[in-house]
Amino acid sequence: MGKRKQKIRVALRKNRQKKPRRQNDFTHEDLEDSNLAHGERVSGKGDLTRHRTIIGVEGDENSGLTIDVDMSQCRPGRVLSVHRSGFIVQADGGERYECVVRNVVRAIASDQRTAVVAGDQVMFQPTVNEQGVIERVEPRTSTLSREVRGQEHVLVANVDQVLIVASSADPPLKPSLLDRYLVSAAVGDIAPLICINKADLSNLAALQPIIGLYSQLGYKVVTTSTVSGYGIPRLRELLRDRETVLTGQSGVGKSSLLNALQPGLKLRTGEVSGDSRKGKHTTTSANLLELNFGGWVVDTPGVRQFGLWDTFPEEVEGYFVEFHPFVRNCRYPDCTHTHETDCGIKQAVARGLISECRFESYQRITAGDLV
C-alpha cells in the first residue's frame, strides 16, 4: 500500500524585490487630513507573499510530510558540502553535481539557514554540465545543532558519532564548552567521542584528572598529538567505518587531525592568535570527506560560543549522567539544584561524588551563560 499523499500550502518569499512606486499623487492637504500616526509614512503596497500548494507524502511519526517528486526525473544523493554558490551532491554512483535548492524546499524548512546541510540525503534532478536542483531533503536520522540568534543552526545531519576535539593547551581546554557539546550530542541522538589534542604541549600526567573524569562517566576519551603522532592510530580505529562529525573550539586542530589521519586530504590549517590565544577560523563550511580506511568524517568550522538548541533548563540535569542517582534525594521535585535547600545534587558535590567542574558547567548552562 503506497503512502498517502496530502496537499501542503507553503509561503514563498521573494529574494529580491524593488520598492513599489506610489500610485496615488497625494497632496500636502491630503496628508494633513489623514489619520496617520506619528512616525508613519505613506507608501505603495508591495507584492503580497506568494503561496503555492504542493503535494506531500506522508512519512512516519518522526518525519512528517515530505515533498512528492517525480522519481523518474530525480536521483538520490548525499550533500557533501555547502557553499555560498550552492551544494556539492554525490549521487549513488559516485558522480558529483553542483546543485542549487528549489525554493519550495527552503519554504517548508523551519529555518531558512539550514534547509540543506552537509550529510543530508536528498533527491535531486540533474540538469546540464554536472549541475542539478535539489528537489527534496529526506528525513534526518540525527543532527548536531546549536542556537544562533534564537534560531536552530544545524551543523550536520545523518552522522552516528561526534568527535569533540579539545586541546590540552593553546587554546586552553574549556570543560564547560566540552560539556555543552556532550549535551548537544545527546539531544541529537549522536554517540560522543572526546579527543584531547596537542598532547605534546602538556604533561600527560596533568591531563589524567580530566581524562579520568570523563572516562568514569562512560565517555570514550583519546589523547592525540599531530606533531608526534601519539594517539593517531587509536583514533583511526575509532573512526573506521563510522560517520563522524568533528567539532570543537577554533584552533584546537581539527583539520590537522584529519591531515594526520589521512595525509592526502591536505586540509588548510591555521595558527592560534598570539594576543588572545584564541583559535582562528580556517574551516569556513562543513565538508563531508570519505576516509580511505573506511567511513566518513565531517569537518566543521570551529566555534567560540555554543548555544544549546531545543533544550529547556529543567531538562539539562537529565544529560548529566552522574546526577541521576542523587536527584531522588532532593527535597523538592522541581529542584533546580541552584538555590534550594536539601538538594541531593549539591550534597553530592560537597561530598566529592560529583565533580565541581561539571556542576559549574551545569549551572552555567541552566543560567543561559555562553562559554
Binding residues for GTP: 197-200, 248-256
Q: What is the 3-state secondary structure (H, E, C) of 282-302?
A: CCCCCEEEECCCCCEEEECCC
Gap between the Cα atoms of 349 and 35, Å rounded? 64
Please name the residues in contact with 198: beta carbons below 8 A apart, sequence gap of 6 or more.
167, 168, 169, 170, 225, 226, 227, 252, 253
What are the start-end ranges of the H helices in the chain?
Answer: 28-33, 103-108, 175-187, 204-216, 232-239, 254-261, 344-350, 356-367
55 - beta bridge partners? 7
Residues in the chain: 371
66 - beta bridge partners? 57
Question: Beta 287-290 vs 296-299: how paired, if at all?
Answer: antiparallel
Gap between the Cα atoms of 207 and 210, Å rounded? 6
End-to-end CA distance of the chain: 51
Q: Please state the residue numbers annotated as binding site for Zn(2+).
A: 330, 335, 337, 343
Q: How many CB atoms lie within 10 A of CB 198?
A: 25
All three cell numbers of 12: 514563498
Q: Please state the residue numbers annotated as binding site.
A: 197-200, 248-256, 330, 335, 337, 343
Q: How many helices, marked H, and strands, marked E, lie in the chain?
A: 8, 16
